[in-house]
Amino acid sequence: MTAAPGCLVTVCRDCCCGSARKHPAVDHDAQLRRLRAALRAPHRVRVSVCLDLCAQSNLVVVHPAPAARRAGARPVWFGLVLHDSVVDDIAAWVRAGGPGVAPLPAALGLSVVTPKFRAGG
């Protein structure tokens, strides 16, 4: 089985991310539908359980396409993804190639967070 040639986008939906209690003004289901509608094949969108960065919910992680990964690109984590404009910016960046292919727009750079397992080193 070969990997799909596009990016993989992981959307955290567990204890805090996707929580109407924590973010009552966000339509979390619509946010996920918006990403899925914007990112058709070869890209993929999946839902994950807790990614353990709850203070930055809602989290979205963009994993590079396999060729970009082989060339050294790494996943980019976005926190506080609470507005349609950020979802749209992420989708546009992924469609442009994502990590290792397209430059990260300055506006999206403001949403980048560091996962806990990378924070120390």
What is the predicted pLDDT for the residue at 20?
Answer: 87
Q: Are 27 and 119 in contact (CB under 8 A)?
A: no
What is the predicted pLDDT for the residue at 4?
Answer: 75
In a domain, 10, yes or no: no
In a domain, 6, yes or no: no
In a domain, 52, yes or no: yes
In a domain, 109, yes or no: yes
In a domain, 64, yes or no: yes
In a domain, 1, yes or no: no
How deeply is 6 buried, as exposed, middle or buried, from its count of CB atoms within 10 A (0-12, 13-18, 19+)?
A: buried
Q: What is the pLDDT along the chain (121 residues), one digit of tens a residue?
A: 556 799 999 999 988 888 888 999 999 999 999 999 999 999 999 999 999 999 999 999 999 999 999 999 999 999 999 999 999 999 999 999 999 999 999 999 999 999 876 544 4
In a domain, 7, yes or no: no
What is the predicted pLDDT for the residue at 116?
Answer: 79
What is the predicted pLDDT for the residue at 82?
Answer: 95
Buried b (16+ CB within 10 A) or exposed e, 73-85: bebbbbbbbbeee
Domain count, the chain: 1
In a domain, 77, yes or no: yes
DSSP β-ladder status, 8-12 and 44-48 = parallel
What range does the domain containing 104 cover?
17-114
